[in-house]
Amino acid sequence: MTKATHTNTRAMVETAFLASTTAMLFLINYYFPLGPLLRMLFPLPTALAYLRWNGRAAWMAMVVTALLLAILMGPTRSIQYVIPHGLVGVTLGYLWKRDFPWSGSLSIATVISSLGTAFQIAFVSLLLGENLWNYSIVQITGFLNWIMQLFGSLEQPDFATIQTFAIAAIIFSNFAYQLLVHIVAWIVLDRLGNPIPHPPKWIESLLA
């Protein structure tokens, strides 16, 4: 066996292992949801495939994971993995391999993840035949009314304010999620021999 053949075989085996790991994490989280504990790991195997090998391995890991989930859980869950977790994993692998600072990788991952959230709201709304965005707006309206009453105001928030708050909440929650993904990746991938760029000093000091 030539060295090139050995390398290709190893890359294929590792990619298959990382894909099955992602599918298993997704499957466990669906039946035994543990909040963000497992969700923060969803993009990491795909990103690791990019760091250890190349973009082709990362894309293959994402595609194989999607196929496994389509078989185990149906195409709906497979699509919900690809958008946004699969795409985020490939993107982070690309950025980390090129030593992008956290400011850049966090911003890009947050944008992709936020767009993925918007896609999932539209996708699930289509499947259920109900507009989940309107339901979210109703919930946020009630929350803002409670906040304003807490401060002694009886005014009703206008529609533009409610929409802005809803969009800001989606972006902030995705930023917080991607920050957790970065912190876990910094801790775990370094121990696996595939380190990512170091975080800003203030994050290092907090973790220390």
9-52 tens-digit pLDDT:
888 899 999 999 999 999 999 888 776 778 889 999 999 999 99
Helix H, strand E, coil C: the string for the chain is CCHHHHHHHHHHHHHHHHHHHHHHHHHHHHHCCCCHHHHCCCCHHHHHHHHHCCHHHHHHHHHHHHHHHHHHHCHHHHHHHHHHHHHHHHHHHHHHHCCCCHHHHHHHHHHHHHHHHHHHHHHHHHHHCCCHHHHHHHHHHHHHHHHHHHCCCCCCCCHHHHHHHHHHHHHHHHHHHHHHHHHHHHHHHHHCCCCCCCCCHHHHHHHC
Which residue type sits at 172?
F
140-167 tens-digit pLDDT:
888 777 777 777 766 777 778 888 888 9
- The residue-averaged pLDDT of 173-177 equals 95
pTM here? 0.89
Q: Name the percent of the chain lying above pLDDT 70.
A: 94
| pLDDT at 113 (0 to 100) | 96
> What confidence tier does 138 reach under pLDDT thresholds 50, 70, 90?
confident
| pLDDT at 2 (0 to 100) | 65
40-86 tens-digit pLDDT:
899 999 999 999 998 999 999 999 999 999 999 999 999 999 999 99
What residue ranges define each of the domains in the chain, with the CATH number in brackets?
3-207 (1.10.1760)
pLDDT at 3 over 80: no
Read off the tokens for 77: 């869950």
| pLDDT at 49 (0 to 100) | 94
- The residue-averaged pLDDT of 94-118 equals 95
